[in-house]
Structure 1
Amino acid sequence: MVITVVVIALVFDYTNGFHDAANAIATSVSTRALTPRVALAMAAVLNFVGAWLGVEVAKTIQGIIDIDGLNSVTDADRAHALTIVLAALVGAITWNLITWYFGIPSSSSHALIGGIVGAGLASSTVVHWDTIIDKVAIPMVLSPALGFMLAFGLMTALMWIFRRAMPSRINRGFRHAQTVSAAGMALGHGLQDAQKTMGIIVLALVAGGFHTGDDVPLWVIVAAASAIAAGTYSGGWRIMRTLGRRIIELDPPKGFAAEATAASVLYVMAIGLHAPVSTTHTITSAIMGAGATKRFSAVRWGVAKGIVVAWVVTMPAAALVAAVFYFVARPFLP
């Protein structure tokens, strides 16, 4: 059962990769700074590299529910604990696939967190609400707000600095700059999202009695990094169209401003606050902020409203699916 849960966790990591591939490269592809396949290959490699930059976010994921309480001694207790972890993954994967099908850039991170909370509540496992508030809820609001404001400020500054330059020369220069900003965004995505799967795998190992504490084994880092890189290379074209074109028609300077600010927010949240924030929320709000510098009506707020609704629904929806799965599976446990 431990092997099954670990494999399903890596499947989630793979779906996270193709679901969130657009986060790193949609702006660069839509502005033609990079071709789709080159962008995906670059994002996949840097997702893998980013996964090696730390494990503090993984430890935060482990701290959402009582990890010590999952460290059971009998086979029946271990099966019960592993079912909780499995239910969390089923909730997250289900919501990922639903939003991917409809091309909605929702958060894989918050789907996983919602799944963990839903499974924890359904099983009467202790949920650490202080961790949820400090590391999830507050950063969940803060990171999109920062993404919007910083992208708006950076784009305003770029417009003033290059106000006398020829548009064709500006676009050509910022297409090259977008290669760097997209790379930074892909690195930040690996730093954030691969660690979340590492955290859930360690939970499964603890639940099965194969690990103690919150340290992340080397093989877990390798497996999670590889799975998210493979998923990213497979590409999430439906969501890419939403981020790259449906919110606003981007030009290279706006794409650069959105990617650069979103990547900066991801690094600060992961390295400074150890908070598992959403790369999707951050880049989407940054695109809105950069686009709003043209005029607020240039942003297609109807599309943006639908995205925000998906953000709000993600955690409770994944939690509900996880809770239902737990209640369905519980009678079959020893």
Structure 2
Amino acid sequence: MTALSLMMYLVLACTCGFAFLNGFRDASNSVAAAVRTRALTPTYAVLVASFFTFVGTMLSTSFGVYLISAVELNVPDGTPGLTLLLAALLAAGAWGILCWWRGLPISSTHALISALAGASGASAFLGDDGVHDSLRMLFGGVLLPLVFTPLVAFAFSYLLVVPATWLVRHSSAADVNGVSRAGQAVAACAVALGHGIQDGQRTGAMLTLTLVTAHAAQPGSIMLGTQLLGATFLSAGVLFGGWRIAHTIAYRLVSLDPLRGMIAQSVSATMLFLGAMVFHLPLSTTQAVTSSIVGAGANQRFESVIWRNVNRVLRHWVATPVVCALLAGVLLLAMHPLLG
């Protein structure tokens, strides 16, 4: 087995590991609020989230969500390109593990794109080819959604509480909670499906990109095997997902009733579907869900949002592009003498 083949298998393994970590961390996105309001039991919530994440991943190639497809042919061929991908995956994965350990929901998408941009900059500094248009990828895939997604999710969730509470003003609390829990259970499945469509496409793209860089696949090819592999690891991560981040989203940011929980998850699911099918943009599931929950919870007569914890999460969202880009650049510089 050649050194290039060994490097290819190493990057493929790290990509699968990153997909598992992505699902492990993001399981809370679709189930936290539903479990908090008792719309779903924890066991059933994780099972349906894993199933719909798998289905969404297998459907994701139909929507062409932009992340890597526009730049996949510009990654350097051979070992330099694989080294760049490896540094990006390790940097994004390390930041994701740290934030998970601290119970902080951050975007795996933003971490990966920022790490690719940082590794590309370090590669160019060493005189090698980097990912062309990496700055455009960083702006369109991280900076613009970082501003757009939280604001839109918060605003729509906040505003939709008004007509929703007006429509149920003559209903009993038991009836409202019962219908809202049923609606929230459906919305949780929709969020899991949207998560698979969004993040699953990027997992499959990274696997395909690795094979193309190692000359093991043709550029532009979409292989069922890579998509199935990515779907398996992403959904397995959801199935075994931890509850640190779920506890933060469900209990440490805002107090929610079932009606507001249904509104929040409906808004976030709609954003994920529109981002994939209409705008073809890589939206962060974490940011959409978290911002929607805070927005819906903020529109109550009593103060329900713990802004201290919300601000802590926001600071880590802003820090993610900087930390991941710098860490990936440092890792590439460190690995270059060994693998370059």
Q: Fold-level match, TM-score > 0.5?
A: yes
Q: After alignment, is 142-151 or 39-48 more displaced?
A: 142-151
Against the structure 1 CA distance between its residues 189 and 34, is the aligned structure 2 distance closer, same or farther, given a 3 Å change threshold? same
Task: Choose the corresponding residue for 1:52, options 53, 58, 77.
Answer: 58
Task: Choose the corresponding residue for 1:258, options 237, 258, 264.
Answer: 264
The residue number in structure 1 matching 2:181 is 175
Deviation above 4 Å: which 4+ runs of structure 1?
56-59
How many residues are paired up? Answer: 328
Q: Which runs of 5+ in 2 are unaligned?
A: 1-6, 125-129
The residue number in structure 2 matching 1:68 is 73
The residue number in structure 2 matching 1:151 is 157
Measure the CA separation in 2 of the matches of 1:296 and 1:23. 25
Against the structure 1 CA distance between its residues 70 and 260, is the aligned structure 2 distance closer, same or farther, given a 3 Å change threshold? same
Structure 2 counterparts to residues 205-216 of structure 1, below 5 A: 205-216=211-222
Task: Choose the corresponding residue for 2:304, options 276, 298, 313.
Answer: 298
TM-fit CA distance, 1:295: 4.2
TM-fit CA distance, 1:205: 1.3
Structure 2 counterparts to residues 12-23 of structure 1, below 5 A: 12-23=18-29
Kept after mapping to 2: 8 A contact 1:58/1:196 = no
AA in 2 matched with 1:40: V
AA in 2 matched with 1:68: L
TM-fit CA distance, 1:68: 3.0
Q: After alignment, is 142-151 or 14-23 more displaced?
A: 142-151
Kept after mapping to 1: 8 A contact 2:67/2:137 = no
Against the structure 1 CA distance between its residues 95 and 296, is the aligned structure 2 distance closer, same or farther, given a 3 Å change threshold? farther
SS of 1:227's partner is helix
TM-fit CA distance, 1:318: 1.3
The residue number in structure 2 matching 1:280 is 286
The residue number in structure 1 matching 2:3 is none
CA RMSD of aligned residues (A): 1.7
1:40 pairs with 2:59: no
1:221 pairs with 2:227: yes
Q: After alignment, is 84-93 or 199-208 more displaced?
A: 199-208
The residue number in structure 2 matching 1:320 is 326
The residue number in structure 2 matching 1:75 is none
The residue number in structure 1 matching 2:4 is none
Measure the CA separation in 1 of the matches of 2:292 and 2:301. 15
Against the structure 1 CA distance between its residues 214 and 296, is the aligned structure 2 distance closer, same or farther, given a 3 Å change threshold? farther
The residue number in structure 2 matching 1:243 is 249
Q: After alignment, is 122-131 or 111-120 more displaced?
A: 122-131
Structure 2 length as normaliser, TM-score? 0.92
Against the structure 1 CA distance between its residues 320 and 52, is the aligned structure 2 distance closer, same or farther, given a 3 Å change threshold? same
Measure the CA separation in 2 of the matches of 1:214 and 1:222. 17
AA in 2 matched with 1:113: I
Kept after mapping to 2: 8 A contact 1:62/1:202 = no
Structure 1 length as normaliser, TM-score? 0.94
The residue number in structure 1 matching 2:85 is 85
Q: After alignment, is 49-58 or 252-261 more displaced?
A: 49-58
TM-fit CA distance, 1:190: 0.6
Structure 2 counterparts to residues 91-240 of structure 1, below 5 A: 91-124=91-124, 125-128=130-133, 129-240=135-246
AA in 1 matched with 2:88: A
Measure the CA separation in 2 of the matches of 1:153 and 1:322. 40
TM-fit CA distance, 1:177: 1.3
TM-fit CA distance, 1:58: 6.5
Task: Choose the corresponding residue for 1:267, options 257, 268, 273.
Answer: 273
SS of 1:250's partner is coil
Measure the CA separation in 2 of the matches of 1:58 and 1:329. 33
Listed one character per residue, the Cα deviations across residues 40-79 of structure 1 (whole Å, up to 9, x for unaligned) are 0000000000112232777632257x5334353xxxxx11
Measure the CA separation in 2 of the matches of 1:295 and 1:93. 40
Q: Percent sequence identity over matched residues?
A: 35
Measure the CA separation in 1 of the matches of 2:290 and 2:167. 25
Measure the CA separation in 2 of the matches of 1:327 and 1:85. 13
Against the structure 1 CA distance between its residues 127 and 300, is the aligned structure 2 distance closer, same or farther, given a 3 Å change threshold? farther
TM-fit CA distance, 1:31: 0.6
Kept after mapping to 2: 8 A contact 1:56/1:270 = no
Listed one character per residue, the Cα deviations across residues 89-118 of structure 1 (whole Å, up to 9, x for unaligned) are 001100110000000001111111111111
Against the structure 1 CA distance between its residues 309 and 290, is the aligned structure 2 distance closer, same or farther, given a 3 Å change threshold? same
Kept after mapping to 1: 8 A contact 2:113/2:141 = no
